[in-house]
């Protein structure tokens, strides 16, 4: 290959920068549309059955948004690989078609047919021959043919052609300056090799490093296949294009069947807070390309300003993450644990959804219109050269966000619903925790938290102490959202657990009794944990303590698994908070509490959270099978799916309640997705186990007739508990608990 045939580095870098801006911008458009979908029957314009559809639609749009961010990461990797700087720069919305290679304006708009038309044009395949799809486009998007040469796919086609003429000498960037799935998803599963995490998609995301022309072209192929499918083979299933076509068809059919159907909130297009710097404005726009909508409601304006500030902080984190060459392992680990899940999942999404529940304008005549996030990009955003200055700026910005949201949450503003106040509180608490991560990069850890005292010296060997040993087991209900949904998501959309139809919101609580307002789903096992064995073990052997045989085991005061989308711990390492155990026997009861002593949950020390939580997920199919009787998790899902279809048909033929039908329909749809991929979490989670074990740090209490225990037990902080949670059934949202409690008896003569 002659030197003249090779493309210049600048040619490739220019196209990559355009691609990066498009991927970034389109991801935000999809997020905005997803946030706009209604979630409750009380919002009007939707039925229970339609809400189930909308939950699934929201999941599709959010998945596409995540993959657009994945594409941005892959493009940044290629830029780093060729020695260029990763690019997160973008114009603010709305953006004229004149300045973009795809010749389509970019704007923020609510979910609907117009939004889907734009999405379909963005993702349009470079080759399209299937008659049904051609007919669809001609009918619903007549201008598609003139736009077919200006799509994202065409941009990557040009980029691939340039790379095909390049040589490996183009790749001069430092290898350690790129990111992979191992950095994006730092969680580990006992029994699963890290190579599996690096080479397979998690939450629809697979980020790979690039070192050669072949690898760069493979990454371009991945981006194109996820966006437009396989045009050369006319295979589009699973691509963004195909999924958006399906959404359009489904929405169009629903609107024709029910003209009153209104799936999205009346969110204003291209919202902007009044506080936005005029210099951050948009460029020249043509008629029909939209314009900013200024938020005049004081509350919406203030929250939208905080949202923009948080979005800009997230961009600064990502810049630091993508430019991570030269940073130490602790710094990279901090960014990987903060920039993606906590900030995107516990700040961007929940605050964006809160905004869309608020009035956009101060004028009462316009009270129906809702606000939304602007995603304002500040031109000053760039990599901060000095690491220590970067950590201080990020920490201070996060603390400022925390203070602003805490003040609004406690303001008593009548426009804020009870749920909105809870969400804002949850967000500021998480921000307080995130700030601690950056404190650790600035301040030695021993100055952040009181040092943990050294363990006392081991006592001299003594005669074995008599023990009361209880073995307990049973099913618990855990109706919690799952990643990548926010931990406080009320209904579920992009994870694999949902509240459907007329079911109450997801609570995250570990329930040892069925809540009064909840109708257990069909096939749910009996809920309750019971003492299976209670024995006094001493020098005379083992003797049953009959007063505790069959006793109820409970954790009181709404216990929750707390990791908060990786803000507190990694998945599989989350403690249960609060932890207040009660065992109620026949005439005697036991009560023991383990308290957080280093502050509120969001400020608790890592050491304390680790003491209370498990070391991680453990892949133990034999453990799960020991309680379910089934080794084949996929078979359980298949059998459940067939049973639910029969139940749905029977209930529908009887004219059953709409809410119950919606629940069954939602469950069926989710299991249909699950059986298509045996490695999917609804299937594989059944074999996962979390193992807990610690000594209570508060004295145990015996109430009732203590003599029924055989002799006095110690009240000192020596009660030990060990148990596992596993055999998780995502459809029923139940898990099995099995463990033991060990309590020393008082020595003879004490």
The 3-class SS string of 499-525 reads: CCCCCCCCCCEEECCCCCCCCCCCCCC
Q: Is 344 helix (H, G, I), strand (E, B) or coil?
A: helix
- Helix (H) / strand (E) containing 554: strand 552-555
Whole-angstrom distance, CA of residue 582 vs CA of residue 310: 42
**pLDDT band (50, 70, 90) for residue 80:** very high
Give 168-210 pLDDT, tens digit per residue: 999 999 888 888 888 887 665 544 555 566 677 778 888 999 9
Q: Is there a contact between 623 and 726 (Cβ–Cβ < 8 Å)?
A: yes
Residues 346 and 567 sit within 8 Å (Cβ to Cβ): yes
Place of tokens 């077919």: 148
> pLDDT confidence of 92, banded at 50, 70, 90?
very high
pLDDT band at 53 (very low <50, low <70, confident <90, very high): very high
Task: Find the helix or strand (DSSP H, E) in which 530 lies.
Answer: strand 528-538
Q: Would you state the structure tokens that stand for residue 366, as one six-digit string?
A: 């316009």
Distances (CA, A) of 671 to 200, 497, 641, 666: 21, 11, 6, 9
Contact call for residues 438 and 395 (beta carbons, < 8 A): yes
Degrees to nearest 5, angle at CA 487 with 397 and 315: 30
Question: Lowest-confidence range among 44-53, 365-374, 609-618, 628-637?
Answer: 628-637
Q: Which residue in this structure is represented by tokens 């193992």?
A: 691
Q: Give the pLDDT band (50/70/90) at residue 677.
A: confident
Residue-wise pLDDT tens digits, 119-137: 999 999 988 888 889 899 9
Percent of the chain's residues with pLDDT above 70:
93
Distance CA 301, CA 374 (A): 10
User: What percent of the chain has a predicted confidence (pLDDT) above 90?
Assistant: 70
CA distances from 8 to 4, 12, 167 (A): 9, 7, 11
CA dist 464 and 744 (Å) reads 10
737 vs 717: CA distance, rounded Å: 23
CA distances from residue 374 to 21, 110, 263 in whole angstroms, order as listed: 16, 13, 21
∠ CA 407-412-417, rounded to 5°: 105
Mean local confidence (pLDDT), 666-686 = 88
Q: Is the pLDDT of residue 325 over 70?
A: no
Which residues make Cβ contacts (< 8 Å) with residue 307, sequence separation at least 6? 348, 351, 352, 355, 373, 374
Identify the band that residue 463 occupies on the pLDDT scale cut at 50, 70 and 90. Answer: low
What pLDDT band is residue 143 in, cutting at 50, 70 and 90? confident
pLDDT, greater one: 148 or 1? 148
C-beta separation of 718 from 744 below 8 A: yes
**Residue pair 706/712 in contact by the 8 Å Cβ criterion:** yes
More confident residue, 555 or 2: 555
The angle subtended at Cα 299 by Cα 293 and Cα 304, nearest 5°, is 50
pLDDT in tens, 351-368: 999 999 999 999 999 999
Rounded Cα gap, residues 482 and 460, in angstroms = 48
Please report the beta strands in 56-101, taking only residues with DSSP state E, as ranges in sequence order. Answer: none
- Tell whether the model's pLDDT for residue 4 goes beyond 90: no
Domains of the chain: 8-181+189-262 (1.20.1260.10), 292-448 (1.20.1260.10), 467-631+675-744 (no CATH)
* 404 pLDDT higher than 80: yes
Tokens 């789903």 correspond to 521
d(CA 225, CA 239): 7
d(CA 334, CA 330): 6
Mean pLDDT lowest among 276-280, 420-424, 571-575: 276-280
Global pTM reads 0.92
**DSSP labels for 462-509?**
-PPPPEEEEEEEEEEEE----TTS-TT-SS-SSSS----TTPPPP--B
State the Cα torsion 608-609-614-617 to the nearest 10°. -150
Residue 1 has pLDDT above 50, yes or no: no
Determine the average pLDDT of the residues in 589-594. 96
pLDDT in tens, 690-739: 999 999 999 999 999 999 998 899 888 789 999 999 999 999 999 999 99
> Please, how many CA atoms are within 13 Å of residue 82, restricted to the half-sphere of its CB?
25
Q: What does the angle CA 693 – CA 694 – CA 696 come to, to the nearest 5 degrees?
A: 140
Secondary structure class of 636 (helix, strand, coil): helix
- pLDDT bucket at 281, cuts 50 / 70 / 90: low
Task: Return the sign of the alpha-carbon dihedral for residues 96, 100, 104, 107.
Answer: negative
Q: What pLDDT is recorded for position 256?
A: 97
- Whether 557 shows a pLDDT value over 70: the answer reads yes
Phi-psi region of 501 (alpha: psi -120 to 50; beta: other; left: phi over 0): left
Listed range (52-61, 529-538, 565-574, 654-663) with the worst mean pLDDT: 565-574
The pLDDT value recorded for residue 470 is: 97
């Amino acid at each position: 290959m002659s030197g003249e045939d090779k493309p210049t580095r600048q040619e490739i870098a220019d196209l990559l920068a355009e691609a990066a801006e498009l991927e970034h911008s389109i991801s935000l458009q999809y997020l905005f549309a997803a946030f706009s979908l209604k979630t409750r029957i009380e919002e009007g314009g939707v039925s229970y059955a339609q809400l189930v559809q909308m939950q699934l639609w929201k999941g599709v749009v959010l998945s596409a948004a995540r993959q657009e961010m994945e594409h941005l990461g892959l493009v940044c990797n290629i830029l780093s690989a060729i020695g260029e700087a990763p690019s997160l720069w973008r114009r603010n919305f709305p953006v004229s078609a004149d300045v973009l290679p795809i010749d389509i304006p970019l704007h923020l708009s609510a979910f609907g047919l117009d939004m889907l038309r734009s999405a379909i044009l963005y993702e349009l395949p470079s080759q399209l021959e299937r008659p049904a799809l051609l007919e669809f486009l001609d009918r619903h998007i007549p201008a598609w043919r003139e736009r077919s040469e200006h799509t994202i796919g065409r941009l990557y086609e040009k980029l691939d052609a340039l790379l095909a003429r390049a040589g490996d000498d183009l790749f001069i960037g430092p290898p350690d300056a790129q990111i992979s799935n191992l950095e994006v998803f730092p969680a580990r599963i006992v029994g699963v090799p890290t190579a599996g995490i690096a080479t397979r998609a998690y939450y629809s995301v697979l980020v790979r490093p690039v070192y050669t022309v072949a690898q760069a072209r493979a990454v371009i192929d991945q981006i194109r296949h996820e966006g437009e499918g396989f045009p050369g083979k006319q295979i589009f299933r699973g691509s963004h294009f195909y999924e958006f076509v399906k959404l359009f068809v489904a929405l169009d059919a629903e609107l024709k069947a029910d003209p009153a159907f209104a799936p999205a909130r009346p969110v204003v297009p291209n919202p902007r807070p009044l506080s936005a710097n005029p210099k951050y404005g948009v460029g020249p726009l043509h008629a029909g390309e939209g314009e900013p909508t200024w938020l005049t409601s004081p509350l919406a304006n203030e929250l939208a300003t905080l949202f923009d500030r948080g979005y800009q902080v997230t961009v600064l984190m990502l810049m630091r993450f993508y430019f991570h060459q030269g940073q130490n392992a602790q710094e990279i680990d901090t960014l990987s644990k903060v920039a993606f899940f906590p900030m995107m999942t516990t700040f961007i999404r929940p605050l964006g959804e809160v905004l869309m529940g608020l009035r956009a304008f101060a004028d009462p005549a316009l009270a129906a219109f809702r606000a939304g996030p602007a995603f304002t990009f500040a031109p000053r955003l760039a990599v901060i050269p000095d690491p220590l200055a970067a950590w201080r700026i990020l920490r201070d910005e996060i603390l400022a966000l925390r203070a602003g949201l805490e003040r609004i949450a406690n303001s008593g503003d009548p426009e804020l619903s009870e749920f909105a106040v809870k969400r804002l509180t949850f967000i500021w608490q998480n921000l307080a925790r995130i700030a601690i991560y950056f404190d650790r990069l600035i301040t030695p850890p021993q100055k952040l938290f009181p040092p943990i005292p050294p363990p006392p010296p081991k006592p001299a060997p003594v005669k074995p102490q008599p023990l009361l040993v209880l073995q307990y087991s049973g099913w618990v209900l855990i109706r919690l959202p799952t990643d990548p949904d926010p931990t406080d998501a009320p209904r579920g959309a992009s994870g694999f657990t949902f509240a459907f139809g007329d079911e109450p919101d997801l609570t995250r609580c570990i329930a040892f009794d069925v809540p009064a307002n909840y109708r257990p789903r069909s096939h749910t096992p009996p809920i309750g944990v019971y003492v299976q064995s209670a024995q006094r073990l001493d020098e005379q052997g083992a003797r049953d303590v009959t007063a505790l045989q069959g006793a109820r085991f409970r954790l009181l005061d709404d216990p929750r698994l707390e990791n908060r989308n990786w803000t507190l711990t990694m998945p599989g390492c989350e403690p249960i908070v609060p932890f207040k155990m009660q065992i109620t026997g026949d005439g005697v009861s036991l009560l023991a509490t383990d308290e957080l002593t280093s502050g509120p949950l969001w400020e608790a020390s890592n050491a304390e959270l680790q003491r209370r939580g498990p070391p991680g997920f453990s892949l133990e199919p034999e453990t799960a099978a020991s309680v379910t009787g089934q080794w084949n998790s996929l078979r359980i899902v298949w059998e459940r799916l067939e049973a639910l279809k029969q139940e749905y048909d029977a209930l529908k033929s009887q004219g059953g309640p709409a809410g119950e039908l919606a629940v069954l329909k939602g469950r069926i749809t989710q299991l249909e997705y699950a059986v298509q991929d045996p490695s999917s979490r609804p299937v594989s989670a059944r074999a996962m186990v979390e193992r807990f074990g610690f000594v209570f740090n508060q004295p145990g209490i015996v109430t009732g007739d203590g003599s029924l225990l055989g002799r006095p037990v110690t009240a000192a902080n020596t009660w030990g508990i060990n148990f596992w949670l596993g055999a998780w059934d995502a459809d029923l949202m139940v898990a099995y608990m099995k463990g033991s409690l060990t309590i020393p008896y008082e020595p003879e003569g004490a």
